[in-house]
Structure 1
Amino acid sequence: MVAKKSGLGKGLDALIPAGNKKAPVKKETEPVIIEKIVEKKGVETLKITEVEPNREQPRKNFNEDALLELSDSIKQYGVIQPLIVQKKGDHYEIIAGERRWRAAKMAGIKEIPVIIKDYSDQQVMEISLIENIQREDLNPIEEAMAYKNLMEEFHLKQDEIAEKVSKSRTAVTNSMRLLKLDKRVQQMMIDDMISAGHARTLITIEDPDVQYNIATKIFDEKLSVRETEKMVKLIQKPEVKKEKAEKVNSFIYKDIEEKIKAILGTKVTVDHRSNNKGRISIEYYSNDELERILFLLESIN
């Protein structure tokens, strides 16, 4: 993930107005004071069943171990910092504090402190994004998707987003470039199988299958970012690009051959073709061996 600054400049205080008057859906510029979030004045108590998460919350993944730790703390001391919520029909929607809400539910808490606000959709998305960035809770793909949503839904430019989250425009641009990666590679980032640094080296590779194959090789062989960069440069040399890509694929399919061979205990050949189709050949040397291989195949779930 792009390195985060220790402070976020205007941060949340640049997004949260002092009053409760509903703001129009536009670019928010009202200056405010961040203490408004945590001050005790205006804190109310709601039944935890009345509060629900924001479906547009940028963060989709929550670390279960961290939630358990927070839940244990809440059992002892309660929810110290109130959630920020707003009225939505017959319930209250979380603007900031979903992690506390989840941990409180795990702790069996029945009521939860909240500050009720009234924000525009744009403000809600910006506040949720900034809260998560401040806590370094977003994975690289969640952060990139949040930037994309701000651009597409509220027509913000990258430099405007960068100012709101106190990052450079280059950092926002590089984050969003990760969305060009194959979905399988993005999932590997979410699962911490490869780093954002590894992933950025793969962006210039157009073939999604080659992207994924290299990402798998990075994970299997614990390649460094520098080693990955060297591999990608070899593939992208114009005069040998196709040859090197085929070499990488050949290595990968040779590895697959060896793995199947280890399972079946006989010679296996993987004939991969350019259209991503191919043939697997399994050799046997007696009827007994054929029956043994058949038994192994049938036992595979």
Structure 2
Amino acid sequence: MKIENQRDERLTIEDNENIQKINIQRVKANPYQPRKTFDEERLNDLAKSIKLHGILQPIVLRKTISGYHIVVGERRFRAASMAGLTEIPAIVKSLTDEDMMELAIIENLQREDLNAIEEAESYRKLMDDLNLTQQQVAQRLSKSRPYIANMLRLLNLPKVVADLVKQGELSGAHGRTLLGVKDKRKMQSIAKQAVRESWSVRELENYVTTHYSENKTKAETTQKAAKPKFIRQQERQLKEQYGAKVAISTTNKKGNITFEFKSEDEFRRLIHQLNNKYNRE
């Protein structure tokens, strides 16, 4: 069953004559609802609007043995409860579990305030519960398969970082960039720094590429492997002699010896050692 993006709206339009007033006490949340948190401030605003104008668009329900399950319109239902309504206008549909699940997820995906983690969780739920591939999810939702794959990668973020994305402190693009840091503790530290200093995605990309990216590690490994054995031996000897990381590079019959220092004290110590070595000779 393929459901178009505007299916919930077509359900309402097609079945306007079947709108019913349902006792709000008999309505239960959709068990397949992927969204667990709702913005309280926006719910309050919607509740105030409902008090003044009523519910302009009926929700969609499925009949159950004990009452009704919400298929589409859980925000309206919650706001109606907050507004003190005892009945709610609804369209009752005969739907399968698969229909309910897919409609609930699609409704959430159409919302502008859905954060990147919730979006990724919705795609994962479609795949797991309906046994779909990334390609099939992409086709149903008119997305590209790489887009779905990239969103799903966010589910590999540690909880601390995922929560920052959920709270809007970081974007989904920030989250995907941080996945280039394989050490989760370092990833969390960088994520918090990015929030503190309000880094753009580009700034974060530059930082991760410079310090932690897998590509950088691979490049260093390749470069190290390409050095002659005797140069690597000299680097180790110099490191032991001066207590600092040393890199020797050669190009076009010329070369450089680089000493790395991390503080002014280390710099002064290195200069002192080198001067002493030179004076003794």
* TM > 0.5 fold call: yes
Deviation of 1:220 (Å) = 1.0
Matched-pair contact (CA < 8 Å) for 2:34–2:125: no
The amino acid that maps onto 1:143 is: E
The answer for the alignment partner of 1:227 in structure 2 is: 203
Matched-pair contact (CA < 8 Å) for 1:12–1:127: no
How does 1:78-157 map onto structure 2 within 5 Å?
A: 78-157=54-133
Please give the secondary structure, in 1, of the residue aligned with 2:84: coil
Is 1:215–2:209 an aligned residue pair?
no
Matching residue within 176, 179, 183 for 2:159: 183
Q: Percent identity?
A: 39
Question: CA–CA distance in 2 between the matches of 1:137 and 1:227?
Answer: 25
Deviation of 1:12 (Å) = 4.0
The amino acid that maps onto 1:170 is: P
The amino acid that maps onto 2:135 is: D
Larger radius of gyration: 2
Please give the secondary structure, in 2, of the residue aligned with 1:41: helix
Is 1:10–2:1 an aligned residue pair?
no
Aligned CA RMSD, in angstroms, stands at 1.8
Deviation of 1:64 (Å) = 1.4
Question: CA–CA distance in 1 between the matches of 2:185 and 2:63?
Answer: 46
The answer for the alignment partner of 2:24 in structure 1 is: 48
Matched-pair contact (CA < 8 Å) for 1:60–1:142: no
Cα offsets for 1:58-108 (capped at 9, x unmatched): 222211121111111100111111111112331211110000001111111
| Structure (1 or 2) with the greater helix fraction | 2
Matching residue within 5, 8, 11 for 1:36: 11
Matched-pair contact (CA < 8 Å) for 1:58–1:143: no
The answer for the alignment partner of 1:202 in structure 2 is: 178
Deviation of 1:204 (Å) = 2.4
The answer for the alignment partner of 2:138 in structure 1 is: 162
The answer for the alignment partner of 1:71 in structure 2 is: 47
Against the structure 1 CA distance between its residues 93 and 144, is the aligned structure 2 distance closer, same or farther, given a 3 Å change threshold?
A: same
Question: CA–CA distance in 1 between the matches of 2:86 and 2:36?
Answer: 24
Matched-pair contact (CA < 8 Å) for 1:218–1:228: yes
Question: CA–CA distance in 1 between the matches of 2:47 and 2:143?
Answer: 32
Please give the secondary structure, in 2, of the residue aligned with 1:167: coil
Against the structure 1 CA distance between its residues 152 and 35, is the aligned structure 2 distance closer, same or farther, given a 3 Å change threshold?
A: closer
Q: What are the ranges of 5 or more consecutive residues in structure 1 without an aligned counterpart?
A: 1-8, 17-33, 242-301
Q: What are the ranges of 5 or more consecutive residues in structure 2 without an aligned counterpart?
A: 222-281
Question: CA–CA distance in 2 between the matches of 1:88 and 1:177?
Answer: 36
Deviation of 1:240 (Å) = 6.3
- Please report the TM-score for the alignment, with normalisation by the length of structure 1: 0.67
Matched-pair contact (CA < 8 Å) for 1:11–1:165: yes
- Please report the TM-score for the alignment, with normalisation by the length of structure 2: 0.72
Please give the secondary structure, in 1, of the residue aligned with 2:17: coil
Count of matched residue pairs: 214
The amino acid that maps onto 1:35 is: R
Matched-pair contact (CA < 8 Å) for 1:122–1:150: no
Question: CA–CA distance in 1 between the matches of 2:33 and 2:39?
Answer: 16
Cα offsets for 1:93-152 (capped at 9, x unmatched): 111000000111111111001111122222212111111222224221111111111111
The answer for the alignment partner of 2:150 in structure 1 is: 174
The amino acid that maps onto 2:189 is: N
Matched-pair contact (CA < 8 Å) for 1:205–1:211: yes
Question: CA–CA distance in 2 between the matches of 1:136 and 1:123?
Answer: 22
Matched-pair contact (CA < 8 Å) for 1:193–1:219: yes
Matched-pair contact (CA < 8 Å) for 2:47–2:80: yes
Matched-pair contact (CA < 8 Å) for 2:161–2:175: yes
Question: CA–CA distance in 1 between the matches of 2:95 and 2:11?
Answer: 14
